[in-house]
Chain A
Amino acid sequence: MEIKVEGGDEYANASYTNVCNDVFRDVGLRSNIDRVYMYCNAAEHVFIISIKIGRVPSPVKVWDVTLREGNKLRITKEEYAPKLLALLWDRYDERVQQESRLIIKFELDEEEVAKLNELVVYDPKEDLTVRMLDGIDRILPEGARVRYPIPSAQGQGITIIASENPISDEWKVKAKELVGGIASSGEVHN
């Protein structure tokens, strides 16, 4: 993940680079984001953050997180256990039982087991936007509550202008110039 912070003084730029790094690590997006650009103008209280999303991991399926042992499944990645159990109980009711912490017993025929293996436990794309917006919210100064989003043309990222004052058209144009290729090159919609 490449991070560039401009506009503030030396201390603020260095500090916000650290903040971006730590926040995106906390929300679990560091490996999914290609580039973060932030522009801080504290004098006019305008902050621009632009994110370009890179590769998003493929959906996690049942066979990715379990190992089959006869008519039992052993959970190999415990962090997915609650989602996996909820999915299986929802679909197969009492025919699936949790025998111990990591062992799931099932009473299913082979055809059903083949289908079960292909079930999607978790799709990282599902909550990508939510996590990204949560990260942006944690980075931008708390007082900058007036927000103006500019989606990217290819849907691969977002640019947000934040301020405590109404955001002028001048800043909307400047934001597009600053973020260059990341933001949409079209007209800004009010």
Chain B
Amino acid sequence: MYKIMMFSGGVYKFNELIETVEDIGGFILQSMVMQTETMLHLAFPAEEEPRIKAKAKELGGKLKDLPLGGAEIMVVVPSLGKHHAVYPMCDIAEFLRRNGAITDMMGLARGVGKRIAQMTVEEKAIINECDAAVFVFGNFKECIKKKVKLCEMIDVPYIIVGGPSASDVDIPHYVGGVGRRTSRMNRKEDIEKLSEMATALADVLEEKRIELEEDPLAASPLFIKEMIEMILPPKVTEEFPIVIHMDGLRVKVDAEDEERIRDIEIGKRKLSEICEIKKSLYEGYLLEILPEAVAGEIF
């Protein structure tokens, strides 16, 4: 399995780090050079961690573990009104991004209230495209307990964030102490709450990761991303043309490039043979990589 870490440091010889990562069969997920500062998201085989750490130390940079790296998380709030946006919705999304996740945000069309709260089929399908979801609810335990039915409808792992403490609300995957906010969550106790939430999310993702390890995919999404980028280089202005999921990718390409994507060679196989390719409800195409047991070996 790949370990995902963030390197931050100066520009001096940072190319050497990139070369080291590529030499050991790793990937650069994101790279940002800001004048004299650099930030890299690296994915490399877990057993090579000491080598990367030694290189980072040599360059005088810092390495930070990204427990949510390589996952796309949907932050779901009952509505996009001022009751939920921008606080705490954006604080939560920002904290998840700091932990390596790629985040999307969704306000439900009819998610407010207690009895009247509901989720449409399309909303459910969009959430299911992501690796995990974070449901942000309010201050009343009676409402949260009732709204759990919305979360149970989805197929991906999820956590629920709300106001009352976890001991008062007896539901699984629940993190309390957030609730309704009217100001930014930047105090020490708020950051601790957000860390608790990120840990809970990392735990549910770990369960999915273990499942994938038991029934491995035909090819790693990171490897497929590299192969796609060789055929279809990312456009300069495009942000995140390829989003990595734990078990697939979302590729933002036009309809005319769909055939080219299907024919990309991954080892001895074509991409269409090892992936289920379907139009994403969000944007572009969704590539769901089949398990090796179904698709067969690629080499």
A141 at interface (Cβ–Cβ under 8 A)?
A: yes
Binding site for B on A (CB under 8 A): 8-9, 11-12, 15-16, 18-19, 22-23, 26, 40, 42-43, 45, 138, 141-145, 164-165
| Chain A residue nearest in CB terms to B164 | A11
Q: Looking at the complex, which of B74-82, B253-261, B275-283 is the stretch in contact with chain A?
A: B74-82
Write out the residue numbers on chain A whose beta carbons fall within 8 Å of the beta carbon of B114: 42, 45, 143, 164
B283, chain A: closest CB distance, angstroms = 28
- The minimal Cβ–Cβ distance linking B183 to chain A, given in whole angstroms, is 6
- Contact B139–A12 (Cβ < 8 Å): yes
How many residues does chain B have at the interface if contact means C-beta atoms less than 8 Å apart?
A: 27
Q: Interface of chain B, helix or strand or loop or mixed?
A: loop
B113 touches A142 (CB 8 A): yes
CA–CA, A167 and B295, complex, Å:
59
Is the pair B140, A8 in contact by a Cβ cutoff of 8 Å?
A: yes
Contact B139 A138 (CB under 8 A): no
**Pairwise interchain contact B139-A11, C-beta atoms closer than 8 A:** yes
Shortest B168–chain A CB gap in Å is 7
Point out residues on B near A: beta carbons under 8 Å.
Answer: 78-79, 81-84, 112-117, 138-143, 163-165, 168, 176, 179-180, 182-183
Pair count A-B, CB < 8 A: 71
Nearest-CB residue, chain A, relative to B110: A143
B290 vs chain A, min Cβ distance (A): 42
B139 and A15 contacting across the interface, CB-CB below 8 Å = yes
Residue numbers in B under 8 Å from A18 (CB-CB): 182
Q: Which residues of A contact B165 (CB under 8 A)?
A: 11
Contact of A142 among B78, B142, B163 (CB under 8 A): B78
* B113 and A143 within 8 A (CB): yes
With both beta carbons as reference points, the residue of chain A lying nearest to B141 in the complex is identified as A9
Q: Check if A12 sits within 8 Å of B163, measured CB to CB.
A: yes
B143 in contact with A42 (CB, 8 Å): yes
